[in-house]
Amino acid sequence: MKLLLPILVVLTVIFTHKSYSQDVGHSSLPARSYLVGEEMLLNGYATRRRMNGNPIYTSALYLKDKSSDSEQIMDQRSIKRSVVIFHMDIPMYIAKKVFLEDLFINMRKEELKDIFPIVRKFIEMSPENGFMQHDELRFDFLPGEGTKIYLNSVEMATIVNPEFYNAILSQWIGPFPITREFKNAMLGVAKQKSSAIEASLEH
């Protein structure tokens, strides 16, 4: 029994450590993240893929309190973080096309009219040549301040309108997400099947 206890302790440490992060390509998603000194939990993550199954990017959502209710998440005026890790180079014209298509099917006409000038500003400030493999795009929502946007930990801008963050979220957990499986994974309802082709993005 005395010999078993140290072994059990070591095994517990090993498996507990593994549960703290999720490997995503060359990056990892910690189970916890911090914003303005407050702890957030990894609510869920999902990978968008091309028709041939190759990964395009992985999205992750961090919340103060985990939730599987997409409307509740959108309505929350507490800190939130979304992370996008790119697994391939994406030219700007393709990134723009896909992003706008995702918004158009998930937002009402009146909402689009209000948010479009801000979305255009975001597109204009994005890298001219698009996003490169291993790039990390981060959106930090701070109540009363807006959404801070970072590319590879370098701040790009702050967008004050609180609806901009929801516009970003809508493509993943809106009424018409990339796929139902993608949405469920972001909501922490179920993990994606590794062999599944979640969505397409063709040149």
Any idea where the domains of the chain sit in the sequence? 32-186
DSSP class per residue in 136-197: EEEEEEETTTEEEEEETTEEEEEE--THHHHHHHHHHHSSS-S-HHHHHHHTTS-PPPTT--
pLDDT computed for residue 70 by the predictor: 96
* Residue whose structure tokens are 């702890």: 39
Q: Domain 32-186: state its class.
A: alpha beta
Q: Give how far Cα 184 sits from Cα of 59, 153, 180, 192, Å.
A: 12, 28, 6, 8
pTM for this prediction: 0.81
Q: Give how far Cα 80 sits from Cα of 43, 64, 166, 171, Å.
A: 10, 7, 11, 16
Strand order through the sheet with 154-159:
32-35, 38-49, 55-63, 80-86, 136-142, 146-151, 154-159
Q: Which residues contact 173 (CB under 8 A, 6 or more apart)?
A: 61, 70, 73, 74, 183, 186, 187
CB neighbourhood size of 168 (10 A): 24
d(C-alpha 84, C-alpha 135), whole Å: 8
pLDDT by 10s per residue, the chain, length 203: 444 433 333 333 333 333 334 555 445 789 999 999 999 999 999 999 998 999 999 999 999 999 999 999 999 999 999 999 999 999 999 999 999 999 889 888 888 888 889 999 999 999 999 999 999 999 999 999 999 999 999 999 999 998 999 999 999 999 999 899 999 999 999 876 643 334 434 43
* Residue whose structure tokens are 């078993």: 4
pLDDT computed for residue 27 by the predictor: 52
pLDDT computed for residue 6 by the predictor: 38
- CA neighbours within 13 Å on the CB side: how many for 21? 11
Structure tokens at 59: 């999205």
